[in-house]
Each structure stands twice: as structure tokens, then as C-alpha cells.
Amino acid sequence: MPSGERQPGPIKVNRTDREMAWSGIQTFLKLPVCLTPEDLRVGEVDVAIGGAPWDGTATGFTGTSLGPSAIRQGDYISSAPSLTHLDVRVDPLEHLTVCDYGDADVLIGNPEGTYDNIRTFVGEIVQGGAIPIIMGGDHGITWPSATAVADAYGYGKVGIVHFDAHADTAPDMRGALHGHGTPMRRLIESGAVPGRNFVQVGLRGYLPQAPVLAWMEEQQMRSHYMAEIRRDGFAKVLERAVDEALDTADHLYISVDVDVADPAYAPGTGTPEPGGLTSAEVLWAVRRLAAEVGMVGMDVVEVSPPYDLGPGLTAQFARRIILEALTGTAMRRIGITSPDYLHPRSAGITA
């Protein structure tokens, strides 16, 4: 091997046995780093966590470019000897090989170039045989991220369950096609993800207006509003969403805008909308989808640290969303796919 080169494979950059969770190099969960698809393949990585710190298309509060670093930033759980989820008694790191893949290259003032870079970045992860989980950034990054997954699995073959207060189906944002309110429209118009392959959960507020709602109906998007959740309860609506996700396409991509939760649970976001889900409901829903349906990609977006409260409450919420996805993926790996599984002891069922 020529001098200066390294053998491909995951790179351990932290002394996890001698560092506090909040110290050292802040990779996600202090996980090893991979830099190339070859690293992923050699390491037989199952899931790669990456960042897309793009904040160029927001029209609300700014700061989502700081989201990936805030989500990575250590908390007490990084130094725990086990990540066993108490609800299901499964440790995702016992069954999955996970790494941090760093961040996509963001070009300030250049949305087209940045989106191309994000698409290439996510494509590398898929090429390396891993499931990408991408930390935003504003919601515009879903357009290139989900497109990269569709590039690999086939246009029309990927469905999206989209948790959000907003539909993100605007035709443009003051003339800009790359807005954080337009990614689902772009995915549908490109053919990467047909309208019928969308299941949206948590929509509320005052947008979009009637013409966009009519367009959504024409595209056969399946949209579940908070009005339906208030009427029927989240458990019933989630059952419908799971069923729809199973019949929409061959593969599932999950997109979570943290503003799907009420601002009481996720204050650090660009477009907070009162009247949303609880954080517990969102975490439960993501784990169920990953376990019962399975996923080939995911993003968690719109964390804005400058507007967060306490010890990074919204960033911690986003971090737990990713952990729920990892737990659900591990459950599916070991065959726990029954509806709404809970470990008997955690569910209060004793012999």
C-alpha cells in the first residue's frame, strides 16, 4: 500500500471508553466514521447517518444548517453501555452495524449545486449497501435525498411516509423551485415518487391554499390531517398510514419534519405550528414503520438550534427519532414485525 493511504473500512475516531458523551469528536453516538462507499462495504455497514446542513431556502426562522451538528452533539446516552429500548427490549447496535458518514458538501448561495451534492452523497451511501438516514437542514433536502434512493430502487418503486405540519407541495416559493415548502411537489413532478406513493401525517394550520389542495387530490396523495387525528385518535390514523405505506410501493422512505410535533415538544424549528402531535406519538410511529414496514431511507429535518430551548430539546427529539428508526430496523432484522409490539414486561404483562 503506498505511503499515506489507508485500508478501507470504518474509522474509529473516539476513545469511547475514556470520554464523556459530550466530549471528544462528535460523531453520531460516537460511532465510527466512513468516508467512501468502499468503507461502507468493507465494514458491512447496515445504516449510515449523514448530514445535509442546508439552510438556503427557508422563509421562516433560520438556523437549520446547524441542525446536523446539534443532533450529533453528545448527551448522556452516547456513553451508555447499552442502547436497549425499554419498550421493546432491543438494542439496535447489537443487531446493526451503524456509522457516521459525515456531511454533504453545501455550496453557499447555490441550491442547484448543493442539491446535486446531496443527491450524490446519499447515492454513495446506498451504493455502499447501507440505509441512509439524513439529518437536515431544511426540508428542501428531501428532494435530492429521496431522489437518490429512487435512483437506486427505481422511479415509482419508492413510497414516502411524510410527517409534517405542512404539505410541502407548493409549486414554488417566490419563484424558487428549491424551497423548503416544495420538495414533495418536485419529487412528484420528476416522477421519482408518484403522488399515490405519498402518505402524509399531521397536516394542520392555514397552508396550503385551495389550488394546491386540489392539486394534491389530483395526484392521489394520501393526507391525514390533525382534524382526523383529533376525531379518530392517532392510533387509528397510524394504522391507516401503515396500511397505506404497505400498498403504495415496494420500498419505504420516511421523512420527518420536527414541526409535526407541537411546538411545546419541538420549539427549535423554522416554521412552528401549534396543535401538533406529541413527541411520544412521533417516536412510536417511526419505530412502528421501521419495524412493521421496513425502510430504505429516511431524513429528519428542520431542527433550528438558535430557536431551541433548554439542553437542545428539539435536537434531542430529532436524535431520538433516529434512534427509534434504528430500533425498528433492528426489530425487523430479528423478526419482530407484529403490529405495535411491546415487550411483555414493559407492557405490564407479568406471568
Residue 57, pLDDT score = 59
Amino acid occupying residue 149: V
Length of the chain, in residues: 351
Q: What is the rounded distance in angstroms from the CA atom of residue 248 to the CA atom of residue 251?
A: 9
| CB neighbours of residue 80 within 10 Å | 12
| pLDDT number for residue 2 | 59
Among 180, 162, 181, 165, CA closest to 260: 165
> How many Cβ atoms sit within 10 Å of the Cβ of residue 158?
26
pLDDT at 170: 79
Grid cell in block for residue 256: 420527518
Q: What's the confidence (pLDDT) of residue 78? A: 73
pLDDT confidence of residue 60: 57
Distance CA 202, CA 197 (A): 17
pLDDT at 264: 97
Preceding omega of 109 cis (within 30 degrees of 0): no
Q: Quick one: pLDDT at residue 80?
A: 72
pLDDT score recorded for residue 5: 84
pLDDT of residue 178: 80
pLDDT averaged over 10-residue windows placed end to end, the chain, 351 residues = 79 84 88 97 98 78 91 80 92 97 95 97 98 96 98 96 94 76 94 96 95 97 98 96 88 97 96 97 98 97 94 95 98 97 93 58
What is the model's pLDDT at position 24?
87
CATH superfamily to which 28-333 belongs = Ureohydrolase domain (3.40.800.10)
